[in-house]
Structure 1
Amino acid sequence: MGCAAASLLGFLGAMVLLFSGAYSLPWTEPVHLILSRFVGPLAGTFSGVVLLRLAGRLTARVALFTAVAAVPAWALALTAAASWSVGFDEADAGQRLSWFGSSSLLFMILGWVAGTVCLAVPLNSLLAGRRSLPVRITQAVLLAAPAALILGALMMMPPMLGVLGAVVLLISALRQGRPVPPPATAPSPTVVAPSRGVGGAALALLLVGLACAVFAVTGSTWAPGVANSTHAMNLGLAYGAFAAIPLLVLAGGVLAPRRGPTTPWAVLLSCAAMAVEGFAQLLGAGHPSQWPATLVAAALMGFAIALPLERLVSGGRLTRIAVVTLMGLAASTVGIPLVAMSAFLAPVGSAVLLIRAWRSGNARQSGVGNVSA
């Protein structure tokens, strides 16, 4: 869990540098590369190796080799990224490429070879017992080579994918560390089926959400008082964000019996996120406060996503608070597209809730008919 948390902090630090105004400073790019290309991936690799070792999938010797071999593999990946960045800056400035800036391909090949060796050994161990040694080695290398190439390519992208991967590792580590409960005899939580009133409200919200989405896309061609398509998009996104608030309250009422006592707080945070995003869109494109307000909305949405995961965390109160805080910050990266596209996602949520209410209503009618018969 500590390795997964360190990986998450590394990728989150890179995300903060990427989205903050500090990225223009000379020291931020090297720090960003170190966090996103070395610290985050290496700590995530350690976490994955430990999880496989605890699950009994790797022997101690293979796990140790994989962890040690990951260090030069990710170091070479970092060097290749730094070489690429230096070469790009030199070419952009019209300068002659230095030996370091022109050696990106060499470092990439060396990193690919090191990553292939790092992955081939545990893959060979996972294939043990089913095939002969030469066949296992051949298959392990054939699987490890493209896997190393794909992992290296993913790490060259923005650190959002790394954040999501670190969250998956953290959740897996939390579930691994939880004690196995005794066989449960208590009844399962009551599931409240959506009523006709919920279905009617979902239908109304579906129509309102579709109207907001249509206005965002086409409002500039027919709505009076709309200056241009950007203005229409901002207004449609704002109205759609505000219209998503009652939908979230409605969905929270349906899910609360299944998701536990944290659901009302998650709904409150998500509603606050929609309110802030609606305000941000009303400010209009180009307003200096629009992007900061969107980031605040994304952070609120991220914590709304992470809060129900608190039940997976074992340990003391401070441990749970720290882990949920990390997961909330990580989920904020997902919250950015969620709040930005909320006007187009809300009709989808309304449709899902409407279909669920319709199906539960048919099931109740079928049950009543069977009882009457």
Structure 2
Amino acid sequence: MVLLFSGTFSLPWTEPLLLILSRFVGPLAGTLSGVVLLRLAGRLTPRAALFTAVAAVPAWALALTAAASWSVGFDQADAGQRLSWFGSSSLLFMILGWVAGTVCLAVPLTALLASRRSLPIRIMQAVLLAAPAALILGALMMMPPMLGVLGAAVLLIAALRQGRPVPPPATTPSPSIPLTVVATNRRGVGAAALALLVMGLACAVFAVTGSTWAPGVTNSTHAMNLGLAYGAFAAIPLLVLAGGVLAPRLGPTTPWAALLSSAAMAVEGFAQLLGAGHPSQWPATLVAALLMGFAIALPLGRLVIGGRFTRIAVVTLMGLAASTVGFPLVAMSAFLAPVGSALLLIWAWRSGNARQPEAGKVSA
């Protein structure tokens, strides 16, 4: 992630290191972690676990070779050069990696398929499942290493939770809230969501079409920057409202998550006001993505089992990992905010309708 977001691709060693880390080291480590977790849970036999761990090395190595061949071939074609044998062999390496990945996945799937059917039938079923699964994993590996980082965070949480008793949720007596107060709050949320929906749509329309009609807008890039900035600022009250609605479900860290996400929107709005090409725009966007990542990770901290230091460390790692999701969220916030406003409006409407029969019973 550091290599991807730091803009150091001009250095000669960056691209090979990024390929090795994201196409081989990361996927192999994730595979080995998954194998260990399944073995500790008693889902894999020792032989199946050992075979999968060993077979994952050539499978991911061939996937790395296919990615490197694709990269070399792309660079050579972009430079107008004749493709070398390595640059033109991407398809061959992809097929070999697919076959190796299918074999690697077929063995644990055969062990996981608990069935009374004969072994040949289970092997056939495992191969039919392993072939598309290996193809999907290979395709995901070719993408930027965002999903891999999130997958690693999921494996980390699963490792901390495995074999440990899950603490029961704290039960606190819920205060009696009059139905009229609840209805009033829901009506207020619905009215605010409707207003924010109109504002969000206006910002999105301005970002796309503002250059054709708005005075003072020089070109389409300027209009896009202004529309994204206004949309980011307009998303702040939406996040505050959503935090209030989700707080009973996500726990006591929700206000802090709402605060961090609002700060992310403020930083992103400032970044867009700077304009495209400004040297501070990209760093500000990265800060906004990081703040949004921690806003996503904080409510998930309740899933982590361990001491205070463990929880803080894991939530920190989860926040860094979730910044890969935070980046597109803040970058496209002006277009995503109307969707969030619409969902909040639907929630207020459906909740109000659900409360009506209950209110009738109370009145009776």
Is the TM-score greater than 0.5?
yes
Q: CA deviation at 1:128?
A: 4.6
Larger mean Cα displacement after TM superposition, 362-371 or 265-274? 362-371
| CA displacement, residues 323-352 of structure 1 (integer Å, 9 cap, x when unaligned) | 111111111111111111111211222222
Distance 1:294 1:191 in 2: 44
Partner of residue 144, structure 1? 130
Partner of residue 153, structure 2? 167
Moved over 6 A (4+): 188-192
Q: CA deviation at 1:34?
A: 0.9
Distance 1:97 1:199 in 2: 60
Distance 2:289 2:212 in 1: 31
| CA displacement, residues 174-194 of structure 1 (integer Å, 9 cap, x when unaligned) | 443541346x79357679854
| CA displacement, residues 344-366 of structure 1 (integer Å, 9 cap, x when unaligned) | 21122222222222233333333
The structure-2 alpha-carbon separation of the partners of 1:367 and 1:68, relative to structure 1 and needing over 3 Å to count, comes to: same
Partner of residue 293, structure 2? 302
Partner of residue 21, structure 2? 35
Distance 2:346 2:235 in 1: 17
Partner of residue 337, structure 2? 346
Stretches of structure 2 that go unaligned for 5 or more consecutive residues are: none
Partner of residue 10, structure 2? 24
Of the three residues 265, 272, 276, the one matched with 1:281 is 272
What TM-score do the two structures reach when normalised by structure 2? 0.89
Larger mean Cα displacement after TM superposition, 205-214 or 234-243? 205-214
Distance 1:224 1:25 in 2: 43
Partner of residue 291, structure 1? 282
What percent identity do the matched residue pairs reach?
Answer: 87
Distance 2:174 2:150 in 1: 30
Of the three residues 230, 250, 267, the one matched with 1:259 is 250
Indicate if the aligned counterparts of 2:160 and 2:306 stay in contact, CA closer than 8 A: no
Partner of residue 355, structure 1? 346
Distance 1:358 1:372 in 2: 21
Partner of residue 131, structure 1? 117
SS of 1:22's equivalent in the other structure is coil
Partner of residue 197, structure 2? 206
Stretches of structure 1 that go unaligned for 5 or more consecutive residues are: 1-14
Pair 1:225 & 2:210 matched: no
The structure-2 alpha-carbon separation of the partners of 1:304 and 1:107, relative to structure 1 and needing over 3 Å to count, comes to: same
Q: CA deviation at 1:96?
A: 5.4
| CA displacement, residues 77-111 of structure 1 (integer Å, 9 cap, x when unaligned) | 22232233334444545555555444444433332
The structure-2 alpha-carbon separation of the partners of 1:248 and 1:218, relative to structure 1 and needing over 3 Å to count, comes to: same
Of the three residues 161, 171, 178, the one matched with 1:186 is 171
Indicate if the aligned counterparts of 2:5 and 2:286 stay in contact, CA closer than 8 A: no
| CA displacement, residues 259-318 of structure 1 (integer Å, 9 cap, x when unaligned) | 222111111110110000101111112222212211111111011000111111122222
Of the three residues 44, 54, 68, the one matched with 2:30 is 44
Pair 1:369 & 2:360 matched: yes
The structure-2 alpha-carbon separation of the partners of 1:92 and 1:357, relative to structure 1 and needing over 3 Å to count, comes to: closer
**Given residue 300 of structure 1, which amino acid in structure 2 is its aligned partner?**
L
Indicate if the aligned counterparts of 1:226 and 1:232 stay in contact, CA closer than 8 A: yes
Number of residue pairs aligned between Structure 1 and Structure 2: 358
Indicate if the aligned counterparts of 2:31 and 2:56 stay in contact, CA closer than 8 A: yes
Q: CA deviation at 1:53?
A: 2.2
The structure-2 alpha-carbon separation of the partners of 1:120 and 1:237, relative to structure 1 and needing over 3 Å to count, comes to: same
Partner of residue 80, structure 1? 66
Distance 2:270 2:110 in 1: 55
Q: CA deviation at 1:238?
A: 0.8
Indicate if the aligned counterparts of 2:267 and 2:287 stay in contact, CA closer than 8 A: yes
Distance 2:176 2:207 in 1: 37
SS of 1:82's equivalent in the other structure is helix
Distance 2:236 2:80 in 1: 52
Distance 1:25 1:356 in 2: 50
- Aligned pairs (5 A) from 1:304-319: 304-319=295-310
Larger mean Cα displacement after TM superposition, 238-247 or 145-154? 145-154
What TM-score do the two structures reach when normalised by structure 1? 0.87
The structure-2 alpha-carbon separation of the partners of 1:177 and 1:276, relative to structure 1 and needing over 3 Å to count, comes to: farther
The structure-2 alpha-carbon separation of the partners of 1:232 and 1:56, relative to structure 1 and needing over 3 Å to count, comes to: same
Indicate if the aligned counterparts of 2:225 and 2:272 stay in contact, CA closer than 8 A: yes
**CA RMSD, Structure 1 to Structure 2 (Å):** 2.4
Distance 1:318 1:97 in 2: 52
